[in-house]
Amino acid sequence: MTVVSMQTIAGKPAGPMRRALGRFFSNRAALVGLVIFVPMLLAVVTYPLWWPYGPNAIDLTALNKGPSAKHWFGSDGVGRDVLARLLQGGRTSLMVAVVSVAISTVIGFVVGAFAAFGGRFVDGISMRLVDLAMTLPPVIFLLVLASIAGTGIAPTILVIALLSWPVLSRMVRARLLELRERDFVVAARGMGAGVGHLLFRHGLPNSIDIIVVYATLQIANAVLLEAGLSFLGLGIAPPEASWGNMLNSARSAAVLEHFPWQWMFPGAALVLTVLAINFIGDGLRDAFDPRSDLN
């Protein structure tokens, strides 16, 4: 499908959203990401309806058993089904990623928008806060926050959210600094519109492309952060399943050599999920770039 045919439907120019969708669905890598991610997401969400084993159910007759008709992905050292834990771990990892990214997106947008619309003093204070957050070594900052907040789903969400918002705030501020000089925003301010009106009536609609692309790509990063924290014992604590602590429990030399299904499947799920989300995020970034119409 050519650019002209995507932009004209029934003789009328297509709107910006329809053109963006056309660019997205013409991106092969983005479609590959969807083909990988959507079935995985459906399996993670619906597995209790079709898989007979729970993530913590113990089968004493299947200790460290390999893949079979009964346990498709084998079992671990205490007889728990690897597939059930893999799917529950995906549910946990994706929930942590989505919630933490939602929180960091709200923080990043509010800080960036207030910096752009709040005046020189507010802008200076906000940007110094962002500079401080961005100059802290991310790995050390992450480990310190995790050790203070403790283990569990809620602390992990909090840690990832607090680490992820500064980049978005700078992107939103840059977009809205240009927007605030537009005639319709100047007119709204002249008519007495407050900061809240400017943020949600003008700032949010004009930043939605940045937010969508950032959130999609950041979900992949948050999945990796959660897996890393859980692998180090600072994220999701057993017996709750996550891909990180599944890899952590399978890192001994005996498991690596003799029971590869205990680390191979969660590792493959982690890699495929992050790749798929990155492909989708790259496709969204290209789709929301109006310069793509010129190529």
Average pLDDT over residues 18-26: 83
Whether the per-residue pLDDT at 56 is higher than 70: the answer is yes
pLDDT of residue 291: 58
Give Cα 2 distance to the centre of its chain.
32
Q: How many residues does the chain have?
A: 295
| Structure confidence by residue, pLDDT tens digits, 108-138 | 998 888 888 877 888 888 888 888 888 877 7
* Range with lowest mean pLDDT among 51-60, 139-148, 169-178: 139-148
| Structure confidence by residue, pLDDT tens digits, 173-203 | 888 888 777 776 767 667 766 666 777 777 7
Whether the per-residue pLDDT at 231 is higher than 90: the answer is no
pLDDT of residue 198: 72
pTM for the full predicted model: 0.84
For the chain, the farthest-separated pair of C-alpha atoms sits apart, in whole angstroms, at 75
CATH topology for 31-53+80-284?
Answer: MetI-like fold (1.10.3720)
CB 236 within 8 A of CB 245: yes
Q: For residue 156, which of 93, 216, 211, 217 has the smallest C-alpha distance?
A: 93
**DSSP per residue over 202-259, as a string?**
IIHHHHHHHHHHHHHHHHHHHHHHHHHHHHTTSSSPTTS--HHHHHHHT-SHHHHHH-
pLDDT of residue 178: 82
Domain ranges of the chain: 31-53+80-284
pLDDT of residue 127: 87
Whether the per-residue pLDDT at 294 is higher than 80: the answer is no
pLDDT of residue 2: 44
Here the tokens at position 33 are 């990401």
Per-residue confidence band for 234, with pLDDT thresholds at 50, 70 and 90? confident
Please state, in angstroms and rounded to a whole number, the distance separating the CA atoms of residues 97 and 212: 15
Which residue, chain included where needed, has tokens 């207030």? 114
Please state, in angstroms and rounded to a whole number, the distance separating the CA atoms of residues 247 and 253: 12
Which of the pair, 70 or 198, is modelled with greater confidence?
Answer: 70
Per-residue confidence band for 3, with pLDDT thresholds at 50, 70 and 90? very low
Q: Output the CA torsion sign for 138, 144, 147, 153.
A: negative
Please state, in angstroms and rounded to a whole number, the distance separating the CA atoms of residues 233 and 249: 10
pLDDT of residue 195: 67
Per-residue confidence band for 14, with pLDDT thresholds at 50, 70 and 90? low
Residue 137 zone, left/alpha/beta (φ > 0; ψ -120 to 50; rest)? beta
Please state, in angstroms and rounded to a whole number, the distance separating the CA atoms of residues 21 and 287: 7
Torsion, Cα of 263, 264, 270, 276 (10° steps): 180
Mean pLDDT of the chain: 83
Whether the per-residue pLDDT at 216 is higher than 70: the answer is yes
Q: Report H helices in the chain.
A: 3-7, 16-25, 28-50, 82-117, 120-135, 138-149, 153-179, 183-190, 195-197, 204-231, 243-249, 253-258, 261-287
